Every structure is written in C-alpha cells, then in structure tokens.
Structure 1
Amino acid sequence: MKFHKKLIAALVLMVPVLANAHAGHGDTNGFVSGFVHPMFGLDHLLALLALGFWVALSQRAVRLAAPMLVVIAMLVGASLGVLGFSFAGVEWGIAASVILSGLAVTLRLPVTHLAALLPMIGFALCHGLAHGMEVPAGASTVGFFAGFAVAAFLIMMSGMLVARGAVLLKAKHIHLWLGLIVTLLGGAMLGLG
C-alpha cells in the first residue's frame, strides 16, 4: 500500500476519536481550555488549516484580513453561545465547513475579494457558537474566548505558511491531496454526526 493510502486510512481511523472537540478537556483554566479546544478538535483544526491554506494564495488584502475576520466571527458566535443561543444544525455547519474548505483547497477556488469569504465567515459563527456553548464550568469565559481566538489565529496562520511553503518548494499537487483529505474527513464527520 502506498504511503498516501496509509496516511488517508490512518486519518480516517482517527475521526471517531477526534471529530468532536466539545466534550471538555478536564482543565478549568479558561485560556488553556480555550486554546486546546480547536487544537484537539479535528473538526476545528481541519477547517482552520484548510481555510488558511486556501486564502494564502489570494490577494494581499484577503490574506491580511481573512484570519482576523474568521476570529471575529468565531468570537461573535461564541458570545451568542454563552448567551444561550443555539440551533440544531451547529455540528452540521461545522462539518460542512470542513467539507467546503477542503473543496476550496482541492479546486483552488480563487479568492479575489473578501466577499468570497462570506460562507466561511458564516461557518466560523458555527464554530464559535460551539465554543460558546462549551465553556467549561468554573472557567473564565474571557480567558476561554482568548484561548480559542489565539489558537484559531495560529492554526490559520499555519495553514497559510504550509501553502506558501508548498509554492516555494514547487509542490504542485499538495493542494489536491490536502484538500481531498480534509474533504473526506469532513464527510466522515458529517456521516458520524
């Protein structure tokens, strides 16, 4: 079996364990809990990495604004979650964001202006809502929000760095493999949800 098939198989086997970051992490420190939430939630991690990868090859204005717009949308969603707003499709929205960000990478959809990010900003609201509904009991809400905002920003920047590195290394098909893996895992999450 070729390496890429083994990698895909390993990643698919991890989905049931990592797909849902919303079970808590046993730490009541707000910042730490918020920081690890997107790091260990495969749904959040994949969507943010792929989104960073996708916008990395865009116009400068998009590259500069996208990470902040996504983090702001997540903070708005989290605030709504803390205030008690919810909807039945939040997990579906998160899984859909993974699928669509993976497809955007795979197809190299152009991001020529910020309006192209509107669907992803909407999905960032879903990610934020999930964060807001899962603030650990006894944790500082402000600390939790700060933690996940910093982590989300760093994950997106990591995706952007991988994309820029791929360009420098002339790795022509990395977008295809990364996008397909993210899309397939998003589909698995949707099927498991």
Structure 2
Amino acid sequence: MALGRMGLLVILASLTIATPALAHDGTGLAGGFISGILHPLTGWDHLLAMVAVGLWGAILGRPLIIALPVIFPVMMVAGAFLAMVNIPLPPVEIGIALSVVILGAVIAFRYAAPVWLACTIVAIFAVFHGYAHGMELPSAADPAGYSTGFVLSTGLLHVVGIGIGLIDRHETGRKAVRALGALISIAGCVFLWRAIA
C-alpha cells in the first residue's frame, strides 16, 4: 500500500514539473512517420487526454468503447484542417487543458453520460487537440507520413486507456480507475493554471 501511495506521489510530482504543452510548442516538426508516432507521447496533456478517452469509453461500454476512440481522431483531423486554413478558435491551450480536467473528472465520478453527450464532449475536445497540431503540420518535412503516424499513435493511446478500463469490472479495479481519473483531472488543473498564467 505504501508503494502504491509513493507511486502516486511520484506521478503527481512529475506532472507538476512537466511543461503543459510540450507536444505542441509551435517550433515546427521534423516530419515523417516515426516523428508522428512519437509526437503524441512527448506532451502529458495530449497523452493523458488520449488515455482518458479510451478509459471513459471502456467504463461506458458499448457502443462508446468503440465510438469515442473513433470520433476523437476523426475530429482531431477536422481541428487540424481548421488550423491549416486559419479559422480561429478560442484559446487552444485552455481547451486542451480543460479536456484533461473534464475527461479525468468524468472517469473519477463515473459519469454515465448519454451516448450523444459523451460523443459531443469528446468531439469538441478533439478539435482543440487537432487544431494545436494542425498549426505545426505545414512545417513538417513529410506531412502525410507525420499525420499517419500521429493518428496511429493517438489510436494506440486510446487502446491503452481501454486496456486500463478492463480492471474497472472488479471493485478494487473500480477504485483504482476512479483514483486514476482524479489524478488525470488534477494534472489537467495544473495544465489549465499554466495555460491561463
């Protein structure tokens, strides 16, 4: 039990020192398939949101265990398109931070959203994530390869979340999932504070 608490403290400490928008800092991309695969793993905000989408879908069950991980990358592509054609959105970093706060909270509180609402929440947040990366995409050396790798990596993070969600079927696992949701939401609050500051 002490080891579990120590692990949680380590995770919380690492989240407080991580940069909130490392995955989309606006500095341009090396490009290529491998770069696209690795990029979602370089920012805690994107990584936690992707895992949370899969985890929430697993908790909600069918049809959302499939629908949410499909909706997110599709709407992320739409968000990237909006960025590339210069259609403005509200502050993107705040939208991304809120995605982590809210997705963590719905997991922590086991919010059983109706299908339409869960899909809408995920779709809106996906647009913000896609927009942030779409602003960088034109600077990539190989935009098509990068995009393919990025979407694949995002999908794999959803699968990780679904895998974690499998432990939700047992009482002990359910408590662990709720605690993980709370940690994700707390991390989102840190990202939100940094985005506003």
Bin the TM-score by the shorter chain.
0.7 to 0.9
Report the count of equivalent residues.
192
Change (3 A) 1:131 1:26: closer
Q: Is 1:31 aligned with 2:33? A: yes
Greater mean deviation of Cα atoms: 153-162 or 19-28 = 19-28
Listed as ranges, the matches of 1:65-104 within 5 Å are 65-104=67-106
Identity of aligned residues (%): 31
Q: Residues 55-66 of structure 1 correspond to what in structure 2 (within 5 A)?
A: 55-66=57-68
Shift of 1:174: 1.1
Note the 1:11-160 alignment, pairs <5 A.
11-16=14-19, 19-23=21-25, 28-135=30-137, 137-160=139-162
Structure 1 gap segments, 5+ residues each: none
Equivalent of 1:165 in 164, 167, 176? 167
- Give CA-to-partner distance per residue, 1:11-52, whole Å, 9 cap, x none: 333323x64211378862332222222111111001111111
What is the TM-score with the length of structure 2 in the denominator?
Answer: 0.86
- Following TM superposition, by how much is the alpha carbon of 1:113 offset from its aligned partner in structure 2, in angstroms? 1.7
Going from structure 1 to structure 2, the CA distance change for 1:24 and 1:151 (only over 3 Å counts) comes to farther
Aligned-partner SS, 1:173: helix
Structure 2: which 5+ residue stretches go unaligned?
none
Structure 1 stretch displaced more, 73-82 or 3-12: 3-12
Structure 1: distance between partners of 2:29 and 2:15 = 28
Q: Secondary structure at the match of 2:63?
A: helix
Q: Is the 8 A contact 1:106 1:180 kept in 2?
A: yes
SS in 1 for 2:139: coil
Deviations 1:130-185 (A, max 9, x none): 11001262422222221111111110111010111343684231122111111111
Give the structure-1-normalised TM-score: 0.88
How many Å separate the matches in 1 of 2:49 and 2:17?
16
Cα-Cα RMSD: 2.3
Matched, 1:7 2:10: yes
Give me the whole-angstrom Cα distance separating, in 1, the residues matched to 2:28 and 2:122: 30
Q: Aligned letter for 1:90?
A: V
Residue 120 of structure 1 and its aligned partner are, at CA, apart by 1.8
Rounded Cα–Cα distance in structure 1 between residues aligned with 2:12 and 2:64: 34
Q: Distance in 2 between matches of 1:25 and 1:147?
A: 19
1:99-118: CA deviations, max 9, x gaps? 00000110011144243220
Aligned partner (choices 170, 176, 182) of residue 184 of structure 2? 182
Go from structure 1 to structure 2 and tell me whether the alpha carbon gap of 1:158 and 1:25 turns closer, same or farther (over 3 Å shift).
Answer: farther
- Where 1:57 maps in the other structure, the secondary structure is helix
